[in-house]
Chain A
Amino acid sequence: MSKTVPILIASIVGFIMIVANFSPPLLPVRQIAEDWFTIVATIAMMLGGANLCLHHLKKISDREAGWGFSTVTLLSFFITIAVGLLKVGAVPESEQQLKFAWSGPFQQEGSGFWWIYQYLFSPIVSTMFALLAFYVASAAFRAFRAKNVEAILLLLTALIVLVGQTRDREITSLFLPPPVEGALPYFPIADLTEFIRKTFVTAGQRAIMIGIALGVVATSLRILLGLDRSYLGGDE
Protein backbone atom coordinates (compact mmCIF):
# COMPACT_ATOMS: atom_id res chain seq x y z
CA MET A 1 0.00 0.00 0.00
CA SER A 2 2.77 2.45 0.98
CA LYS A 3 4.35 1.95 -2.44
CA THR A 4 1.28 1.30 -4.59
CA VAL A 5 -0.50 4.58 -3.83
CA PRO A 6 2.54 6.81 -4.57
CA ILE A 7 3.12 4.92 -7.83
CA LEU A 8 -0.50 5.33 -8.85
CA ILE A 9 -0.38 9.04 -8.01
CA ALA A 10 2.87 9.41 -9.97
CA SER A 11 1.42 7.50 -12.93
CA ILE A 12 -1.86 9.38 -13.13
CA VAL A 13 -0.33 12.82 -12.58
CA GLY A 14 2.50 11.97 -14.98
CA PHE A 15 0.14 10.98 -17.77
CA ILE A 16 -2.00 14.07 -17.16
CA MET A 17 1.15 16.20 -17.50
CA ILE A 18 2.00 14.53 -20.82
CA VAL A 19 -1.52 15.02 -22.17
CA ALA A 20 -1.52 18.63 -20.91
CA ASN A 21 1.37 19.38 -23.25
CA PHE A 22 -0.94 18.72 -26.19
CA SER A 23 -4.25 19.83 -24.68
CA PRO A 24 -4.39 23.55 -23.74
CA PRO A 25 -7.41 23.22 -21.37
CA LEU A 26 -5.35 20.92 -19.13
CA LEU A 27 -2.58 23.47 -18.65
CA PRO A 28 -4.06 24.80 -15.35
CA VAL A 29 -3.90 21.24 -13.99
CA ARG A 30 -0.21 21.22 -14.76
CA GLN A 31 0.19 24.44 -12.83
CA ILE A 32 -1.66 22.94 -9.87
CA ALA A 33 0.66 19.92 -9.87
CA GLU A 34 3.64 22.26 -9.82
CA ASP A 35 2.11 24.17 -6.89
CA TRP A 36 1.63 20.89 -5.01
CA PHE A 37 5.27 20.06 -5.55
CA THR A 38 6.29 23.44 -4.14
CA ILE A 39 4.14 22.83 -1.04
CA VAL A 40 5.59 19.35 -0.49
CA ALA A 41 9.14 20.62 -1.05
CA THR A 42 8.60 23.42 1.48
CA ILE A 43 7.41 20.94 4.10
CA ALA A 44 10.39 18.74 3.28
CA MET A 45 12.69 21.69 3.82
CA MET A 46 11.66 21.79 7.49
CA LEU A 47 12.50 18.11 7.65
CA GLY A 48 15.86 18.95 6.09
CA GLY A 49 16.51 21.66 8.67
CA ALA A 50 15.70 19.29 11.51
CA ASN A 51 17.95 16.63 9.98
CA LEU A 52 20.77 19.14 9.62
CA CYS A 53 20.58 20.02 13.33
CA LEU A 54 20.39 16.39 14.47
CA HIS A 55 23.24 15.33 12.20
CA HIS A 56 25.60 18.03 13.38
CA LEU A 57 24.61 17.75 17.05
CA LYS A 58 25.42 14.05 16.87
CA LYS A 59 28.77 14.81 15.26
CA ILE A 60 29.59 17.27 18.04
CA SER A 61 28.51 14.92 20.81
CA ASP A 62 30.49 12.01 19.29
CA ARG A 63 33.53 14.27 18.71
CA GLU A 64 33.75 12.95 15.13
CA ALA A 65 36.43 14.21 12.75
CA GLY A 66 35.58 17.79 11.79
CA TRP A 67 33.15 18.34 14.68
CA GLY A 68 34.42 21.93 14.97
CA PHE A 69 32.96 22.67 11.55
CA SER A 70 29.64 21.28 12.76
CA THR A 71 29.68 23.81 15.60
CA VAL A 72 30.26 26.64 13.12
CA THR A 73 27.49 25.30 10.88
CA LEU A 74 24.96 25.13 13.69
CA LEU A 75 25.87 28.56 15.03
CA SER A 76 25.58 30.10 11.57
CA PHE A 77 22.30 28.29 10.97
CA PHE A 78 20.65 29.55 14.16
CA ILE A 79 22.06 33.09 13.92
CA THR A 80 20.80 33.45 10.32
CA ILE A 81 17.36 32.10 11.24
CA ALA A 82 17.13 34.43 14.24
CA VAL A 83 18.26 37.47 12.27
CA GLY A 84 15.83 36.68 9.46
CA LEU A 85 12.82 35.86 11.62
CA LEU A 86 13.29 38.77 14.01
CA LYS A 87 13.96 41.08 11.05
CA VAL A 88 16.96 42.60 12.77
CA GLY A 89 17.66 46.04 11.33
CA ALA A 90 14.60 46.03 9.05
CA VAL A 91 12.49 49.19 9.19
CA PRO A 92 8.90 49.79 7.98
CA GLU A 93 8.84 51.07 4.41
CA SER A 94 5.58 53.07 4.50
CA GLU A 95 3.47 55.02 6.97
CA GLN A 96 0.80 52.30 7.06
CA GLN A 97 3.39 49.78 8.12
CA LEU A 98 4.37 51.92 11.12
CA LYS A 99 1.36 50.58 13.04
CA PHE A 100 2.58 47.01 12.79
CA ALA A 101 5.63 45.58 14.46
CA TRP A 102 8.16 43.83 12.23
CA SER A 103 6.37 45.00 9.09
CA GLY A 104 9.50 45.73 7.01
CA PRO A 105 10.71 43.06 4.58
CA PHE A 106 13.44 40.84 6.03
CA GLN A 107 15.59 41.13 2.89
CA GLN A 108 15.46 44.92 2.96
CA GLU A 109 18.70 46.68 2.06
CA GLY A 110 20.58 47.49 5.26
CA SER A 111 18.85 44.82 7.36
CA GLY A 112 20.83 42.20 9.28
CA PHE A 113 19.78 39.43 6.92
CA TRP A 114 20.82 41.49 3.91
CA TRP A 115 24.14 42.21 5.59
CA ILE A 116 24.81 38.52 6.22
CA TYR A 117 24.02 37.73 2.59
CA GLN A 118 25.95 40.63 1.12
CA TYR A 119 29.08 40.57 3.27
CA LEU A 120 29.40 36.96 4.43
CA PHE A 121 27.57 34.58 2.15
CA SER A 122 28.24 36.23 -1.20
CA PRO A 123 32.05 36.59 -0.75
CA ILE A 124 32.34 32.99 0.47
CA VAL A 125 30.44 31.70 -2.57
CA SER A 126 32.56 33.87 -4.91
CA THR A 127 35.71 32.48 -3.30
CA MET A 128 34.54 28.93 -3.81
CA PHE A 129 33.64 29.66 -7.42
CA ALA A 130 37.04 31.24 -8.04
CA LEU A 131 38.72 28.01 -6.92
CA LEU A 132 37.22 26.41 -10.00
CA ALA A 133 39.96 27.97 -12.15
CA PHE A 134 42.62 25.96 -10.30
CA TYR A 135 40.60 22.76 -10.52
CA VAL A 136 40.16 23.28 -14.28
CA ALA A 137 43.93 23.74 -14.66
CA SER A 138 44.65 20.62 -12.63
CA ALA A 139 42.10 18.50 -14.56
CA ALA A 140 43.32 19.86 -17.90
CA PHE A 141 46.91 19.01 -16.99
CA ARG A 142 45.98 15.36 -16.53
CA ALA A 143 43.58 15.16 -19.49
CA PHE A 144 45.98 16.71 -22.01
CA ARG A 145 48.94 14.44 -21.36
CA ALA A 146 50.03 13.29 -24.84
CA LYS A 147 50.16 9.57 -24.10
CA ASN A 148 48.40 8.28 -27.27
CA VAL A 149 47.04 9.50 -30.60
CA GLU A 150 43.64 10.47 -29.18
CA ALA A 151 45.27 12.43 -26.36
CA ILE A 152 47.54 14.25 -28.84
CA LEU A 153 44.50 15.19 -30.98
CA LEU A 154 42.71 16.38 -27.84
CA LEU A 155 45.73 18.42 -26.81
CA LEU A 156 46.05 20.06 -30.24
CA THR A 157 42.34 20.86 -30.39
CA ALA A 158 42.47 22.30 -26.89
CA LEU A 159 45.46 24.48 -27.81
CA ILE A 160 43.71 25.82 -30.92
CA VAL A 161 40.55 26.64 -28.95
CA LEU A 162 42.59 28.19 -26.13
CA VAL A 163 44.64 30.41 -28.42
CA GLY A 164 41.59 31.22 -30.55
CA GLN A 165 39.83 32.62 -27.50
CA THR A 166 42.53 35.22 -26.88
CA ARG A 167 41.94 38.76 -28.03
CA ASP A 168 45.50 39.27 -29.22
CA ARG A 169 45.17 39.83 -32.98
CA GLU A 170 48.85 39.17 -33.66
CA ILE A 171 48.71 35.72 -32.12
CA THR A 172 45.38 34.68 -33.60
CA SER A 173 46.39 35.94 -37.08
CA LEU A 174 49.66 33.97 -36.86
CA PHE A 175 51.48 37.26 -37.52
CA LEU A 176 50.14 37.31 -41.12
CA PRO A 177 49.73 40.75 -42.73
CA PRO A 178 46.21 42.02 -43.48
CA PRO A 179 44.92 41.14 -47.02
CA VAL A 180 44.42 44.81 -47.95
CA GLU A 181 46.22 47.74 -46.41
CA GLY A 182 44.15 49.23 -43.64
CA ALA A 183 41.90 46.17 -43.34
CA LEU A 184 41.78 43.90 -40.32
CA PRO A 185 44.19 40.93 -40.40
CA TYR A 186 43.10 37.35 -41.00
CA PHE A 187 42.11 35.27 -37.99
CA PRO A 188 43.01 31.73 -38.95
CA ILE A 189 43.09 30.39 -35.38
CA ALA A 190 40.05 32.34 -34.27
CA ASP A 191 38.13 31.09 -37.31
CA LEU A 192 39.32 27.55 -36.69
CA THR A 193 38.17 27.81 -33.09
CA GLU A 194 34.73 28.91 -34.23
CA PHE A 195 34.66 26.09 -36.78
CA ILE A 196 35.55 23.51 -34.10
CA ARG A 197 32.96 24.86 -31.71
CA LYS A 198 30.16 25.20 -34.25
CA THR A 199 30.77 21.97 -36.14
CA PHE A 200 32.39 19.27 -34.01
CA VAL A 201 31.26 20.39 -30.57
CA THR A 202 27.68 21.14 -31.63
CA ALA A 203 27.43 17.84 -33.54
CA GLY A 204 28.75 15.87 -30.58
CA GLN A 205 26.51 17.67 -28.10
CA ARG A 206 23.42 17.15 -30.27
CA ALA A 207 24.17 13.43 -30.58
CA ILE A 208 24.38 13.17 -26.80
CA MET A 209 21.22 15.23 -26.41
CA ILE A 210 19.23 12.97 -28.76
CA GLY A 211 20.36 9.99 -26.67
CA ILE A 212 19.42 11.84 -23.47
CA ALA A 213 15.95 12.66 -24.83
CA LEU A 214 15.31 9.00 -25.67
CA GLY A 215 16.70 7.94 -22.30
CA VAL A 216 14.38 10.38 -20.56
CA VAL A 217 11.38 8.95 -22.46
CA ALA A 218 12.29 5.36 -21.54
CA THR A 219 13.02 6.22 -17.88
CA SER A 220 9.79 8.20 -17.59
CA LEU A 221 7.82 5.29 -19.04
CA ARG A 222 9.50 2.90 -16.60
CA ILE A 223 8.43 5.15 -13.74
CA LEU A 224 4.93 5.90 -15.03
CA LEU A 225 4.19 2.23 -15.73
CA GLY A 226 5.61 1.25 -12.35
CA LEU A 227 8.20 -1.06 -13.90
CA ASP A 228 11.04 0.49 -11.93
CA ARG A 229 10.26 1.58 -8.42
CA SER A 230 13.69 1.42 -6.91
CA TYR A 231 13.54 5.20 -6.39
CA LEU A 232 10.71 4.57 -3.94
CA GLY A 233 12.46 1.71 -2.22
CA GLY A 234 11.45 -1.11 -4.57
CA ASP A 235 8.81 -3.68 -3.76
CA GLU A 236 9.48 -3.96 -0.07
Chain B
Amino acid sequence: MDFHSDTNAKKEIITTRVKSGGQSAFESLVFVGKRPWDCRERVRFTKKTLAMLLFLVVFPALSLADESAGSTKQRVWFDTGKTSFALLTIAICATVIICTELARRGKPFYVRPIAGLLAMEEAVGRATEMGKPILFVPGIEDIKEIDTVAGLMVLSSVAKMAAEYDTPLEVPTSRALVMTAAREAVQAAALAAGRPDYYNEDRIHYITDEQFGYVASVCGWMYREKPAACFFLGKFFAESLFLAEAGNAVGAIQIAGTAETTQLPFFVAACDYTLLGEELFAASAYLSGEPAQMGMLKGQDFGKLAAIVLLLFGCSLATWDSISPRGKSEEGQNLPRRSQWITDTVLKGG
Protein backbone atom coordinates (compact mmCIF):
# COMPACT_ATOMS: atom_id res chain seq x y z
CA MET B 1 0.00 0.00 0.00
CA ASP B 2 1.25 3.46 -0.86
CA PHE B 3 1.58 5.24 2.44
CA HIS B 4 1.38 8.75 1.00
CA SER B 5 -1.73 8.10 -1.06
CA ASP B 6 -3.31 6.57 2.04
CA THR B 7 -2.49 9.70 4.05
CA ASN B 8 -3.85 11.93 1.30
CA ALA B 9 -7.04 9.94 1.21
CA LYS B 10 -7.46 10.38 4.96
CA LYS B 11 -6.80 14.11 4.64
CA GLU B 12 -9.43 14.31 1.93
CA ILE B 13 -11.98 12.63 4.16
CA ILE B 14 -11.15 15.05 6.97
CA THR B 15 -11.41 18.07 4.67
CA THR B 16 -14.78 16.90 3.36
CA ARG B 17 -16.02 16.48 6.91
CA VAL B 18 -14.77 19.87 8.00
CA LYS B 19 -16.43 21.48 4.98
CA SER B 20 -19.67 19.75 5.78
CA GLY B 21 -19.56 21.20 9.27
CA GLY B 22 -18.30 18.07 11.02
CA GLN B 23 -21.83 17.04 12.00
CA SER B 24 -22.21 14.19 14.40
CA ALA B 25 -24.46 11.21 14.05
CA PHE B 26 -26.59 12.39 16.92
CA GLU B 27 -27.21 15.72 15.22
CA SER B 28 -28.20 13.95 12.04
CA LEU B 29 -30.73 12.05 14.11
CA VAL B 30 -32.14 15.19 15.63
CA PHE B 31 -32.16 17.34 12.53
CA VAL B 32 -32.97 14.79 9.83
CA GLY B 33 -34.15 16.40 6.60
CA LYS B 34 -32.49 19.76 7.21
CA ARG B 35 -29.04 18.79 6.11
CA PRO B 36 -28.34 18.03 2.47
CA TRP B 37 -25.00 16.45 3.36
CA ASP B 38 -26.54 13.87 5.66
CA CYS B 39 -26.62 10.86 3.43
CA ARG B 40 -29.56 8.51 3.89
CA GLU B 41 -27.33 5.55 4.62
CA ARG B 42 -25.82 7.30 7.61
CA VAL B 43 -29.22 8.23 8.98
CA ARG B 44 -30.44 4.67 8.44
CA PHE B 45 -27.35 3.37 10.20
CA THR B 46 -27.75 5.68 13.19
CA LYS B 47 -31.44 4.82 13.42
CA LYS B 48 -30.52 1.16 13.51
CA THR B 49 -27.89 1.79 16.16
CA LEU B 50 -30.32 3.87 18.19
CA ALA B 51 -32.92 1.12 18.01
CA MET B 52 -30.32 -1.38 19.19
CA LEU B 53 -29.31 0.86 22.08
CA LEU B 54 -32.93 1.49 23.00
CA PHE B 55 -33.34 -2.25 23.21
CA LEU B 56 -30.11 -2.76 25.19
CA VAL B 57 -30.10 0.28 27.48
CA VAL B 58 -33.36 2.20 27.69
CA PHE B 59 -35.86 -0.67 27.93
CA PRO B 60 -33.92 -2.54 30.66
CA ALA B 61 -33.53 0.80 32.46
CA LEU B 62 -37.24 1.51 32.33
CA SER B 63 -38.17 -2.02 33.37
CA LEU B 64 -35.75 -1.76 36.29
CA ALA B 65 -37.21 1.59 37.24
CA ASP B 66 -40.67 0.10 36.94
CA GLU B 67 -39.69 -2.73 39.30
CA SER B 68 -38.34 -0.32 41.89
CA ALA B 69 -41.36 1.95 41.55
CA GLY B 70 -43.68 -1.03 41.83
CA SER B 71 -42.37 -1.85 45.27
CA THR B 72 -43.82 1.39 46.64
CA LYS B 73 -47.54 1.96 47.14
CA GLN B 74 -47.75 4.82 44.67
CA ARG B 75 -45.53 5.36 41.68
CA VAL B 76 -43.98 8.80 41.79
CA TRP B 77 -42.29 9.42 38.45
CA PHE B 78 -41.44 13.04 39.13
CA ASP B 79 -40.11 14.58 42.31
CA THR B 80 -42.35 17.64 42.57
CA GLY B 81 -40.03 19.15 45.18
CA LYS B 82 -37.51 19.68 42.38
CA THR B 83 -39.91 21.42 39.98
CA SER B 84 -38.24 24.81 40.12
CA PHE B 85 -34.80 23.23 39.72
CA ALA B 86 -36.06 21.21 36.73
CA LEU B 87 -37.53 24.35 35.13
CA LEU B 88 -34.27 26.20 35.66
CA THR B 89 -32.30 23.32 34.11
CA ILE B 90 -34.64 23.19 31.12
CA ALA B 91 -34.47 26.98 30.67
CA ILE B 92 -30.65 27.02 30.69
CA CYS B 93 -30.37 24.00 28.38
CA ALA B 94 -32.96 25.50 26.02
CA THR B 95 -31.08 28.82 25.89
CA VAL B 96 -27.82 27.06 25.08
CA ILE B 97 -29.45 24.92 22.36
CA ILE B 98 -31.29 27.91 20.83
CA CYS B 99 -28.04 29.91 20.67
CA THR B 100 -26.31 26.93 19.03
CA GLU B 101 -29.01 26.69 16.40
CA LEU B 102 -28.90 30.45 15.77
CA ALA B 103 -25.12 30.32 15.35
CA ARG B 104 -25.50 27.39 12.98
CA ARG B 105 -27.90 29.42 10.85
CA GLY B 106 -25.28 32.12 10.50
CA LYS B 107 -26.10 34.61 13.25
CA PRO B 108 -22.78 36.17 14.32
CA PHE B 109 -21.98 36.15 18.03
CA TYR B 110 -19.21 38.05 19.75
CA VAL B 111 -17.15 36.02 22.18
CA ARG B 112 -14.62 37.96 24.22
CA PRO B 113 -10.97 37.03 23.65
CA ILE B 114 -9.43 34.86 26.39
CA ALA B 115 -5.74 35.65 26.93
CA GLY B 116 -4.84 32.11 28.06
CA LEU B 117 -6.28 30.56 24.92
CA LEU B 118 -4.69 33.12 22.62
CA ALA B 119 -1.34 32.30 24.23
CA MET B 120 -1.57 28.58 23.45
CA GLU B 121 -0.18 28.88 19.95
CA GLU B 122 2.53 31.18 21.27
CA ALA B 123 3.49 28.55 23.85
CA VAL B 124 3.63 25.78 21.25
CA GLY B 125 5.61 28.05 18.92
CA ARG B 126 8.06 28.87 21.69
CA ALA B 127 8.65 25.18 22.38
CA THR B 128 9.23 24.62 18.66
CA GLU B 129 11.75 27.45 18.44
CA MET B 130 13.61 26.20 21.50
CA GLY B 131 13.53 22.60 20.31
CA LYS B 132 12.11 21.44 23.62
CA PRO B 133 9.07 19.29 24.39
CA ILE B 134 5.62 20.37 25.56
CA LEU B 135 4.02 18.96 28.70
CA PHE B 136 0.27 18.49 28.97
CA VAL B 137 -1.25 17.38 32.28
CA PRO B 138 -4.99 16.58 32.06
CA GLY B 139 -5.49 16.65 35.84
CA ILE B 140 -5.37 13.79 38.29
CA GLU B 141 -8.98 12.66 38.22
CA ASP B 142 -10.74 10.06 36.12
CA ILE B 143 -12.60 10.65 32.88
CA LYS B 144 -15.96 10.75 34.68
CA GLU B 145 -15.02 14.24 35.90
CA ILE B 146 -16.12 16.96 33.49
CA ASP B 147 -12.89 18.90 34.17
CA THR B 148 -10.87 15.99 32.81
CA VAL B 149 -13.05 15.79 29.72
CA ALA B 150 -12.62 19.56 29.20
CA GLY B 151 -8.86 19.11 29.56
CA LEU B 152 -8.85 16.32 26.96
CA MET B 153 -10.83 18.50 24.57
CA VAL B 154 -8.12 21.17 24.80
CA LEU B 155 -5.45 18.47 24.45
CA SER B 156 -6.88 17.74 21.04
CA SER B 157 -6.28 21.33 19.90
CA VAL B 158 -2.83 21.55 21.48
CA ALA B 159 -1.82 18.22 19.93
CA LYS B 160 -2.93 19.44 16.51
CA MET B 161 -0.78 22.56 16.85
CA ALA B 162 2.15 20.50 18.14
CA ALA B 163 1.78 18.05 15.24
CA GLU B 164 1.79 20.89 12.73
CA TYR B 165 5.03 22.21 14.24
CA ASP B 166 6.38 18.69 14.84
CA THR B 167 7.09 19.43 18.51
CA PRO B 168 7.09 16.48 20.94
CA LEU B 169 4.11 16.45 23.29
CA GLU B 170 4.36 14.54 26.58
CA VAL B 171 1.09 13.54 28.28
CA PRO B 172 1.58 11.73 31.59
CA THR B 173 -1.73 10.57 33.07
CA SER B 174 -2.75 9.44 36.50
CA ARG B 175 -5.66 7.27 35.30
CA ALA B 176 -5.53 4.49 32.76
CA LEU B 177 -8.85 5.48 31.16
CA VAL B 178 -7.62 9.03 30.69
CA MET B 179 -4.48 7.64 29.03
CA THR B 180 -6.62 5.71 26.52
CA ALA B 181 -8.77 8.76 25.76
CA ALA B 182 -5.70 11.01 25.48
CA ARG B 183 -4.10 8.61 23.01
CA GLU B 184 -7.23 8.67 20.86
CA ALA B 185 -7.34 12.47 20.98
CA VAL B 186 -3.67 12.92 20.07
CA GLN B 187 -3.78 10.31 17.32
CA ALA B 188 -6.82 11.98 15.75
CA ALA B 189 -5.22 15.41 16.07
CA ALA B 190 -2.06 14.17 14.33
CA LEU B 191 -4.19 12.77 11.54
CA ALA B 192 -6.17 16.00 11.27
CA ALA B 193 -2.91 17.94 11.03
CA GLY B 194 -1.86 15.68 8.16
CA ARG B 195 0.97 14.18 10.23
CA PRO B 196 -0.07 10.62 11.17
CA ASP B 197 3.59 9.72 11.78
CA TYR B 198 3.72 12.33 14.56
CA TYR B 199 1.70 10.15 16.92
CA ASN B 200 3.88 8.25 19.38
CA GLU B 201 1.91 6.36 21.99
CA ASP B 202 4.95 6.08 24.28
CA ARG B 203 4.64 9.80 24.98
CA ILE B 204 1.15 9.35 26.42
CA HIS B 205 1.59 7.06 29.36
CA TYR B 206 0.15 6.08 32.68
CA ILE B 207 2.12 6.84 35.85
CA THR B 208 0.09 6.09 38.97
CA ASP B 209 -3.27 6.83 40.56
CA GLU B 210 -1.46 8.07 43.65
CA GLN B 211 -1.47 11.87 43.82
CA PHE B 212 2.04 12.52 45.12
CA GLY B 213 3.61 9.63 43.25
CA TYR B 214 2.28 11.22 40.08
CA VAL B 215 3.61 14.63 41.09
CA ALA B 216 7.06 13.22 41.87
CA SER B 217 7.25 11.54 38.48
CA VAL B 218 6.03 14.55 36.47
CA CYS B 219 8.22 17.04 38.37
CA GLY B 220 11.23 14.74 37.93
CA TRP B 221 10.57 14.62 34.19
CA MET B 222 10.24 18.41 34.09
CA TYR B 223 13.57 18.95 35.83
CA ARG B 224 15.31 16.46 33.52
CA GLU B 225 13.76 17.37 30.16
CA LYS B 226 13.07 21.08 30.81
CA PRO B 227 9.92 21.51 28.69
CA ALA B 228 9.44 24.92 27.08
CA ALA B 229 5.64 24.94 27.54
CA CYS B 230 3.46 23.38 30.21
CA PHE B 231 -0.31 22.98 30.10
CA PHE B 232 -2.17 22.05 33.28
CA LEU B 233 -5.82 21.71 32.33
CA GLY B 234 -8.16 19.50 34.32
CA LYS B 235 -8.98 18.72 37.93
CA PHE B 236 -6.22 19.48 40.40
CA PHE B 237 -5.81 19.41 44.14
CA ALA B 238 -2.72 19.92 46.31
CA GLU B 239 -0.39 18.94 43.47
CA SER B 240 -1.24 22.07 41.48
CA LEU B 241 1.44 24.17 43.15
CA PHE B 242 4.09 21.42 42.89
CA LEU B 243 3.58 21.22 39.14
CA ALA B 244 3.32 24.97 38.57
CA GLU B 245 6.41 25.73 40.65
CA ALA B 246 8.44 23.02 38.92
CA GLY B 247 7.41 24.52 35.56
CA ASN B 248 8.37 27.95 36.79
CA ALA B 249 11.75 26.69 37.98
CA VAL B 250 12.60 25.30 34.53
CA GLY B 251 11.50 28.54 32.86
CA ALA B 252 8.57 27.11 30.91
CA ILE B 253 5.66 29.21 29.67
CA GLN B 254 2.72 27.88 31.68
CA ILE B 255 -1.01 27.83 30.93
CA ALA B 256 -3.25 26.37 33.61
CA GLY B 257 -6.96 25.95 34.08
CA THR B 258 -9.18 24.26 36.60
CA ALA B 259 -12.66 24.44 38.04
CA GLU B 260 -11.34 23.85 41.56
CA THR B 261 -11.72 27.27 43.16
CA THR B 262 -9.30 26.38 45.96
CA GLN B 263 -6.48 25.69 43.49
CA LEU B 264 -6.98 28.73 41.27
CA PRO B 265 -4.92 31.10 43.48
CA PHE B 266 -1.93 28.75 43.24
CA PHE B 267 -2.13 28.68 39.47
CA VAL B 268 -2.61 32.44 39.29
CA ALA B 269 0.49 32.94 41.45
CA ALA B 270 2.75 30.49 39.63
CA CYS B 271 1.58 30.37 35.99
CA ASP B 272 1.73 32.84 33.12
CA TYR B 273 -1.90 32.39 32.11
CA THR B 274 -4.80 30.88 34.05
CA LEU B 275 -8.18 29.84 32.73
CA LEU B 276 -10.57 30.62 35.56
CA GLY B 277 -13.36 28.07 35.98
CA GLU B 278 -15.75 28.51 33.06
CA GLU B 279 -12.91 29.53 30.71
CA LEU B 280 -11.61 25.98 30.92
CA PHE B 281 -14.96 24.69 29.67
CA ALA B 282 -15.12 27.36 26.98
CA ALA B 283 -11.59 26.58 25.78
CA SER B 284 -12.40 23.70 23.49
CA ALA B 285 -15.29 25.53 21.81
CA TYR B 286 -13.21 28.68 21.50
CA LEU B 287 -10.27 26.86 19.95
CA SER B 288 -12.44 24.85 17.56
CA GLY B 289 -13.89 28.08 16.11
CA GLU B 290 -17.00 26.16 14.98
CA PRO B 291 -20.08 28.43 14.89
CA ALA B 292 -22.25 25.88 16.71
CA GLN B 293 -19.83 25.63 19.60
CA MET B 294 -19.36 29.40 19.77
CA GLY B 295 -23.14 29.68 19.96
CA MET B 296 -23.03 27.49 23.04
CA LEU B 297 -20.68 29.98 24.67
CA LYS B 298 -23.21 32.71 23.99
CA GLY B 299 -25.90 30.54 25.55
CA GLN B 300 -23.73 30.38 28.66
CA ASP B 301 -23.66 34.18 28.73
CA PHE B 302 -27.46 34.29 28.75
CA GLY B 303 -27.34 31.86 31.68
CA LYS B 304 -25.03 34.28 33.46
CA LEU B 305 -27.43 37.11 32.75
CA ALA B 306 -30.24 35.05 34.30
CA ALA B 307 -28.01 34.41 37.34
CA ILE B 308 -27.32 38.15 37.69
CA VAL B 309 -31.04 38.96 37.50
CA LEU B 310 -31.80 36.29 40.12
CA LEU B 311 -29.00 37.60 42.35
CA LEU B 312 -30.28 41.18 42.14
CA PHE B 313 -33.83 40.00 42.77
CA GLY B 314 -32.71 37.93 45.77
CA CYS B 315 -30.58 40.76 47.18
CA SER B 316 -33.47 43.22 46.80
CA LEU B 317 -35.84 40.85 48.60
CA ALA B 318 -33.32 40.24 51.39
CA THR B 319 -32.78 44.00 51.79
CA TRP B 320 -36.53 44.57 51.87
CA ASP B 321 -36.84 41.84 54.51
CA SER B 322 -34.24 43.49 56.71
CA ILE B 323 -35.69 47.01 56.29
CA SER B 324 -39.31 46.05 56.88
CA PRO B 325 -39.80 42.55 58.30
CA ARG B 326 -43.10 40.84 57.48
CA GLY B 327 -44.15 40.69 61.11
CA LYS B 328 -46.21 37.92 62.72
CA SER B 329 -49.13 35.78 61.65
CA GLU B 330 -52.50 35.66 63.44
CA GLU B 331 -51.20 32.70 65.46
CA GLY B 332 -48.33 34.85 66.66
CA GLN B 333 -45.65 33.07 64.62
CA ASN B 334 -43.03 34.93 62.61
CA LEU B 335 -43.95 35.01 58.93
CA PRO B 336 -41.29 33.55 56.61
CA ARG B 337 -38.93 36.00 54.94
CA ARG B 338 -39.78 37.16 51.42
CA SER B 339 -36.51 35.74 50.13
CA GLN B 340 -37.28 32.33 51.69
CA TRP B 341 -38.71 30.93 48.47
CA ILE B 342 -35.48 31.62 46.54
CA THR B 343 -33.39 30.08 49.34
CA ASP B 344 -35.56 26.95 49.56
CA THR B 345 -36.21 26.27 45.90
CA VAL B 346 -33.58 27.85 43.67
CA LEU B 347 -30.51 27.75 45.91
CA LYS B 348 -31.17 24.35 47.49
CA GLY B 349 -32.06 22.76 44.17
CA GLY B 350 -35.73 22.30 45.04
Chain A positions within 8 Å of B, measured between CB atoms, are: 4-5, 7-9, 11-13, 16, 18, 21-29, 32, 37, 40-41, 44-49, 51-52, 55, 58, 65-66, 69, 124-125, 128-129, 131-132, 135-136, 138-140, 142-143, 205, 208-212, 214-223, 225-236
Contacts and interface: CB of A to CB of B under 8 A. Distances in A.
A139 B216 contact: no
Given A24-B77, A219-B153, 13 more contacts: A23-B78, A25-B68, A47-B180, A52-B206, A139-B270, A208-B277, A218-B297, A222-B293, A225-B24, A228-B285, A230-B157, A236-B187, A236-B188
B66 A25 contact: yes
Nearest to A62: B202
B278 interface: yes
15 contacts: A5-B49, A8-B25, A12-B54, A41-B177, A66-B224, A129-B238, A139-B245, A142-B270, A205-B261, A215-B259, A215-B277, A231-B181, A232-B181, A233-B185, A234-B192
A23 B157 CA distance: 38
Contacts of B77: 23-25
A212 B30 contact: no
A8 B77 CA distance: 25
B146 interface: yes
Interface string B60-97: 01001110110000011111001001100100110011
Interface of B: 10, 13-14, 17, 22, 24-27, 30, 45-46, 49-50, 53-54, 57-58, 61, 64-66, 68-69, 75-79, 82, 85-86, 89, 92-93, 96-97, 100, 142, 144, 146, 149-150, 152-153, 156-157, 175-177, 179-181, 184-185, 187-189, 191-192, 202, 205-210, 212, 215-216, 220-221, 224-225, 238, 241-242, 244-245, 248, 259, 261, 264, 266, 268-270, 276-282, 284-285, 288, 290, 292-293, 296-297, 299-300, 303-304, 307
A219 to B, nearest CB: 4
Contacts of A139: 241, 244-245, 266, 269-270
A8 B49 contact: yes
Contacts, number: 261
A16 B61 contact: yes
Contacts of A69: 220
A223 to B, nearest CB: 7
B204 to A, nearest CB: 9
Contact of B296 (A135, A208, A222): A222
Instruction: Provide the main secondary structure of the chain A interface.
Output: helix
Contacts of B261: 205, 208-209, 212
A231 B138 CA distance: 11
Nearest to B13: A236
Contacts of A7: 24-26
